[in-house]
Structure 1
Amino acid sequence: MHKDSTPRASVLQHVSQNVRRLRHAADMSQTALAEKSGVSRRMLVAIEAGEKNVSLTTLDRVAEALDVAFSDLIQAPDVRDPSRINEIAWAGSIPGSKAVLLSKATATREVEQWEWCLQPGEVYPSQPDADGWSEQLYVFEGCLTLMLGDTVQKIAAGEFFMFASNQPHSYRNDGEVAARFVRNVVI
């Protein structure tokens, strides 16, 4: 399982250190990274200072601009096995809702494996991914409501679902108990 006791602040610190290190390695200024990623310079300054709880979509844009994997931004700098991430990357507004990036594997670019928990009433809206990306979901507790554009897909415990993620989609828990699921993002 994941390090639930590790505070979200440690991930912000990893992101801060990694963005700064990777930006310097790419010989980019904050202004150049802001222009290339479409993320404001002010936001990048806050990220590098470890002060900003940033969205997954924003981190994805920064990673793409730096030509690195998303996981390279949130992974602890001293990790021994680079395929094992095991870090909380998103915390919801309802206590207990979270997304933990468990691991990654090489694919065309990579595969990310996430463990998610959405408490009753929690929603996670996701932006469309690039063409060619897909997601694989497996629910192991509760029931997950997946919104694909205007289509509603209910996925109960023990069921799985795959879809092309280059379309608007969101994850929702309409149930009475936590919805826990594994999400593989194939890049």
Structure 2
Amino acid sequence: MNVAPTPDIGKLVKSTRKALDLTLEQLAERSGVSRSMLSAIERGTANPTFSIVWALAQSLGLDLATLEGTSRQDEPIEHVHHYSIPMRRSADGRCELFMLSPVRTVLPVEWHHLVMKPEGCLESKAHAAGTFEHLTCLSGALSVSVDGKSVHAQAGDTLRYRADKPHRIDNTAGEETRALLLVAQPDQYRTKTTTV
């Protein structure tokens, strides 16, 4: 692997944000990083943690290696080990969501491997307008609730639903449930808006 000079993360984040016509507020909503932290990173007065760097890389469509100062462009195959796959846990600690999407993707699509312990629940606030989720149950059973309606799915079933409203996924099996979650984001992030 070739090692490139460590980049100026603040300048790179700011230039990419402006190239995508995103305000600080929009990037904060998109990445989950606070506006004040984003502002400090862009000014060079804050040193972001790895999780923040990863969130920014994903939100801006940048290769994580670009932000870390490494390059894998000469490699014909990228091997991502299981322990390197970004993961977050649900509020109840019973669900794990593994990010399978390549961090360098510029497509408005993310895909995840969802692992739910018995009685696990993954609650989400409304995503940006126009966002849809496609959830395929691989094993066990689950239900999706949106707008007061709940639909159950068994292994092999797929549920498609609007994710621009509060929604939740529940493990309805008495055992571990696994699913593949695809999040189709709206193209509105690419539209022209006023920048900061």
Question: What TM-score does the superposition give when structure 2 sets the normalisation length?
Answer: 0.58
Contact 2:131 2:184 in 1 (8 A): yes
Residues 27/42 of structure 1: CA separation in 2 closer, same or farther (3 Å cut) = closer
Measure, in 2, the Cα distance between the counterparts of 1:74 and 1:135. 28
User: What is the match of residue 191 of structure 2?
Assistant: none
Measure, in 2, the Cα distance between the counterparts of 1:108 and 1:50. 20
Contact 2:101 2:110 in 1 (8 A): yes
User: What is the match of residue 41 of structure 1?
Assistant: 36
1:70-149 correspondence to structure 2 within 5 Å: 87-92=85-90, 97-104=95-102, 109-149=107-147
Q: What secondary structure is seen at the aligned counterpart in 1 of 2:101?
A: strand
Contact 1:74 1:89 in 2 (8 A): no
Q: What secondary structure is seen at the aligned counterpart in 1 of 2:86?
A: strand
Measure, in 1, the Cα distance between the counterparts of 2:51 and 2:99. 21
Residues 93/74 of structure 1: CA separation in 2 closer, same or farther (3 Å cut) = farther
Q: What secondary structure is seen at the aligned counterpart in 2 of 1:41?
A: helix
Aligned partner of 2:49: which letter?
A: A
User: What is the match of residue 8 of structure 1?
Assistant: none
Is residue 179 of structure 1 aligned with residue 174 of structure 2? no
Percent of matched pairs sharing the same residue: 15
Residues 72/162 of structure 1: CA separation in 2 closer, same or farther (3 Å cut) = farther
Contact 2:94 2:118 in 1 (8 A): no
RCO higher in structure (CA 8 A, sep ≥6): 2
How big is the alpha-carbon RMSD for the aligned residues of Structure 1 and Structure 2?
Answer: 4.3
Residues 120/149 of structure 1: CA separation in 2 closer, same or farther (3 Å cut) = same
Identify unmatched segments of 5+ residues in structure 2.
Answer: 1-5, 16-22, 29-33, 186-196
Measure, in 1, the Cα distance between the counterparts of 2:64 and 2:105. 18
User: What is the match of residue 56 of structure 1?
Assistant: none
Measure, in 1, the Cα distance between the counterparts of 2:65 and 2:121. 22
Aligned partner of 1:48: which letter?
A: P
Question: What TM-score does the superposition give when structure 1 sets the normalisation length?
Answer: 0.61
Q: What secondary structure is seen at the aligned counterpart in 2 of 1:185?
A: strand
Residues 168/94 of structure 1: CA separation in 2 closer, same or farther (3 Å cut) = closer
User: What is the match of residue 11 of structure 2?
Assistant: 24
Name which one, 1 or 2, has greater alpha-carbon Rg: 2
Q: What secondary structure is seen at the aligned counterpart in 1 of 2:175?
A: coil
How many Å apart are 1:181 and its aligned residue? 0.3
Aligned partner of 2:12: which letter?
A: A
Identify unmatched segments of 5+ residues in structure 1.
Answer: 1-16, 53-58
Residues 135/106 of structure 1: CA separation in 2 closer, same or farther (3 Å cut) = farther
